[in-house]
Amino acid sequence: MMLNRILTLLRDFVQHSEEFNLSSAEHQLDELVITSPAKLHTMLVLDADRTMSSEDSGRLFWDLLSNDPQTTDKDYHLKTLFSSPLGYSYTAFRQATLLYEDFADDSKFAKLCDETAVAIAMYPEFVALLRQIAEHDHVGAVVITCGLRRVWETILDREGLSGKIKVIGGGRTVDGIVVTAAVKAAMVSRLKYYHNVRVLAFGDSVLDLPMLCQADEAIVVVGDTKTRSKIMDGALLDAIENGGLSARQVLLPSNVSARLNTTILPALQLTNPGFINSVIQQRSRGLPRIFHATKRNAAKQLMTPMRDARVSGPALREAHRRAGWYLATEFLTDFIGVEEYSIPHVQGNETTGYRLRNEKSTLIVALMRGGEPMALGVNDAFPSAMFLHAKSPEDVKLVHVSQKKTIILVDSVINSGKTVVDFVRHIRDINSSIQITVVAGVVQAQSISEGSLAQEIDSRPNLGIVALRLSQNKFTGRGTTDTGNRLFNSTHIP
């Protein structure tokens, strides 16, 4: 028995790495989505400890362990570990798994997990919400916990939810993974971009912030002031002000004080019928999405020469080309996806390379003339795609669209959105099911919240927008301020 355990640990040491860990976690998530009884349109991603309950399963587990007469070491080693320079890193969580292995064999671990689960009561509001969504096949939920998987599987089973709500987590080497803040964020991104699922994320701590920032809708769970994270307020405010986080908060129980204030972080009730309806509302397959890099430091740097009045002509065109390449590699590869193909390795063998999914069946359309430099940057990223100049929608013909699976429309600026709408409708007349993605340097926020473009986004499947920056400024360039004139040094022409 001891030899088998040692061999298992040795194999785990050899095989496991941060990359392997993420791949294993993504595989578990993919299996969950693929085996869903229906196409998922919405997924709730939930932290466990201190989010769905006021308790911390790790702390309770070690309290029970220390009360065992056979346990001679009574220290709470998890606190010591996570307070060390390792922090909450992959290495620290791997070490935590080894601590569980060292202090409890499989049978003792299972017994302590069951006893821990008995001591944890889920918030009734979460039980009610999860029971409601369990009645709808197009809505799913997954618990992604840095804590003990077995504990939360037992709790969900007790509440009659284990058939619908799955748990991804660790605690033992046999689980194959540890869950870190980065893993949580990556899982939300995979749901959004790879599986094309709308994600609502729920969390309570700093470890949940990367996940919350990635989600379509972020909900911060706020517990009692005595037990909730003391450093969360500062980190949360920073994420809102500098990280682009837009979130709401739910107070559990309802009489606890809010985090920050309800202006910065509006409050909601999980049992509110309006909120529940917004979660279970049936949404069209191929849910359209809008992605932008407004708050990212890379985008801030890229957009600087584009906004600098002193930059024009070739230098400005190069800035637009670089922005196009950035948006293509950073966003389009997630939105459209990538595919594997074989490439020769420098060592002489074959290895795996990656390119845009259906890259050879992709058409890049430069909306002339302002869209050309950025479109060339997109083409740099996807060199196998077909490239087309188009001044009017009629320039896109059946011969261009035939046998294509994806069309990328590229313009430098979207003001009202009318030009883009005309192109989208024209292409839909030729091929109603083709995926269309619009890439732009600047998109006026109002154009995607009201008007014809907003209506097109709401009603059309397989339509998305990727922008370097969303602008609240309704100013439309003319003459010397027109982007097209600046790009081609024609600002002197009326």
Quick: pLDDT tens for 211-224.
999 888 899 999 99
> What whole-number distance in Å separates Cα of residue 241 and Cα of residue 360?
41
- Give the tens place of pLDDT for each residue, 232-255: 999 999 988 887 788 899 999 999
> What whole-number distance in Å separates Cα of residue 104 and Cα of residue 56?
19
> What whole-number distance in Å separates Cα of residue 421 and Cα of residue 475?
20
- How would residue 163 be classed by pLDDT, with cut points 50, 70 and 90? confident
How much of the chain exceeds pLDDT 90, in percent?
51
Distances from the Cα of 71 to the Cα of 8, 57, 61, 104, angstroms: 24, 19, 13, 10
Q: What's the pLDDT at 283?
A: 52
> What whole-number distance in Å separates Cα of residue 209 and Cα of residue 189?
13
Give the bridge partners for 356, in sequence order.
Answer: 338
> What whole-number distance in Å separates Cα of residue 399 and Cα of residue 394?
12
479 has pLDDT over 50: no
Q: Which of 46, 24, 21, 41 shows the shortest CA–CA distance to 166?
A: 46
- Give the tens place of pLDDT for each residue, 359-384: 988 999 999 988 999 999 999 999 99
| C-alpha dihedral sign at 239, 245, 249, 252 | negative
478 has pLDDT over 60: no
CB crowding 242-281: b at 16 or more within 10 Å, else e:
ebebebebbbbeeebebbbeeeebeeeebeeeebbeebbe
Q: What's the pLDDT at 451?
A: 66
440 has pLDDT over 80: yes
Nearest 5 degrees, angle CA 363-CA 364-CA 366? Answer: 140
Query: Looking at the domain that runs over 289-487, which CATH code has it been given?
Result: 3.40.50.2020
Q: What's the pLDDT at 275?
A: 86
Upstream peptide bond of 486 is cis (omega within 30 degrees of 0): no
> What whole-number distance in Å separates Cα of residue 202 and Cα of residue 105?
32
Q: What's the pLDDT at 2?
A: 58
Q: What homologous superfamily does CATH list for 2-280?
A: HAD superfamily/HAD-like (3.40.50.1000)
Give the bridge partners for 8, in sequence order.
Answer: none
- Give the tens place of pLDDT for each residue, 28-50: 999 999 999 888 999 999 999 99
Nearest 5 degrees, angle CA 149-CA 154-CA 156? Answer: 95
More confident residue, 71 or 473: 71
How would you classify the pairing of strands 362-367 and 406-414? parallel
What is the rounded average pLDDT of the residues 302-317?
A: 88
- The mean predicted confidence, pLDDT, of the chain is 87
Task: State the SS3 of the chain.
Answer: CHHHHHHHHHHHHHHCCHHHHHHHHHHHHHHHHHCCCCCCCEEEEECCCCCCECCCHHHHHHHHHHHCCCCCCCCCHHHHHHCCCCCCCHHHHHHHHHHHHHHCCHHHHHHHHHHHHHCCCECHHHHHHHHHHCCCCCEEEEEEEEEEHHHHHHHHHHCCCCCCCEEEEECCHHHCCCCCHHHHHHHHHHHHHHCCCEEEEEECCHHHHHHHHHCCEEEEEECCCCCCCCCHHHHHHHHHHHCCCCEEEEECCCCCCCCCCCCCCCECCCCCHHHHHHHHCCCCCCCCEEEECCCCHHHHHHHHHHHCCCCCHHHHHHHHHHHHHHHHHHHHHHHCCEEEEEEECCCCCEEEEEEECCHHHEEEEEECCCCHHHHHHHHHHCCCCEEEEECCHHHCCHHHHCCCCEEEEEEEEECCCHHHHHHHHHHHHHCCCCEEEEEEEEEEHHHHCCCHHHHHHHHCCCEEEEEEEEECCCCCCCHHHCHHHHHCCCCCCC
Q: What's the pLDDT at 287?
A: 41
How would you classify the pairing of strands 350-356 and 338-344? antiparallel
Strand ordering across the sheet containing 463-471: 289-292, 463-471, 435-444, 406-414, 362-367, 386-390
The distance of Cα 440 from the centroid of its chain, to the nearest Å, equals 21
- Give the tens place of pLDDT for each residue, 390-424: 999 999 999 999 878 899 999 988 988 889 999 99
> What whole-number distance in Å separates Cα of residue 157 and Cα of residue 294?
42
The ranges of the chain annotated as CATH 3.40.50.1000 are: 2-280
What is the rounded average pLDDT of the residues 222-232?
A: 91
Q: Report the predicted TM-score, pTM, of the whole model to 2 decimal places.
A: 0.61
Give the bridge partners for 250, in sequence order.
Answer: 221
Q: What's the pLDDT at 458?
A: 65
The ranges of the chain annotated as CATH 3.40.50.2020 are: 289-487
> What whole-number distance in Å separates Cα of residue 192 and Cα of residue 198?
6
R_g (Cα) of the chain, nearest Å = 25
| C-alpha dihedral sign at 124, 129, 132, 138 | negative
- Give the tens place of pLDDT for each residue, 1-16: 556 666 666 666 666 7
Chain position carrying tokens 């989505």:
33
